[in-house]
Amino acid sequence: MPFFRFAVLLLLTAWLVDRINRKGSIAGLLRKLLARPLVLPALLFIFTHVLSTITSVAPHLSFWGTYIRVYGTYNTLCYAILFFLIILNLRSARQLERLITVVLLASLPVALYGMLQHFGFDPIFPEYDFRSRVVSTIGNPIFLGAYLIMVIPFAFGRLLVSLRALLGGGSLPHRAARGFSGLSAIRRSCCCN
């Protein structure tokens, strides 16, 4: 977690230096930012985090988080900064596709290692039995589930795009229905006993 926070602050510093060198208008930048669809909900989310930290019984703990989890408002602000930096620097659909590709490729080893653990083979921690609660490289089954839930829509979207390219013709609902039947066949053949 400290590396993530450091990396986000480093990205923010590089972006600020770039903005100073460009001498761009801050008002224009704010208009561009507020025109994006998810910015206002994100700002409301950040506001509620900051407000709850200010009014907390233990503001220091709320800001920094516990010693073990280290997840407080500071981390939420780092996630928000990363969100805004991505929004401000994505300029084309091609860049978005590359970002989604990176997210999917980064999730591949996590998912594969989790599958190995589920089937009882763990090359790193062979003394533990992770079959009932897979932790993969994330270290906690709840965090692994949250991570994979965020990645699944991207994988499913790529699957539908690939199916549309492979199957060609027909309306989108018809192609999606064919895709769903293909998914259920894959599920039946790979995941059921």
pTM above 0.75, yes or no: no
Express each pLDDT in 123-144 by its tens digit: 888 888 877 888 888 888 998 9
Task: Indicate if the pLDDT at residue 116 is higher than 50.
Answer: yes
Q: What is the pLDDT of residue 108?
A: 94
3-state secondary structure labels for all residues of the chain: CHHHHHHHHHHHHHHHHHHHHHCCCHHHHHHHHHCCCCHHHHHHHHHHHHHHHHCCCCHHHHHHCCCCCCCCHHHHHHHHHHHHHHHHHCCCHHHHHHHHHHHHHHHHHHHHHHHHHHCCCCCCCCCCCCCCCCCCCCCCHHHHHHHHHHHHHHHHHHHHHHHHHHHCCCCHHHHHHHHHHHHHHHHHHHHCC
Q: How confident is the model at residue 180 (pLDDT cuts 50, 70, 90)?
A: low
Angle at 118 between CA 112 and CA 120, to 5 degrees: 110
What is the pLDDT at residue 188? 39
Every domain of the chain and the residues it spans: 2-89, 93-191
pLDDT tens-digit series, residues 57-114: 999 999 998 887 778 999 999 999 999 999 888 888 899 899 999 999 999 999 999 9
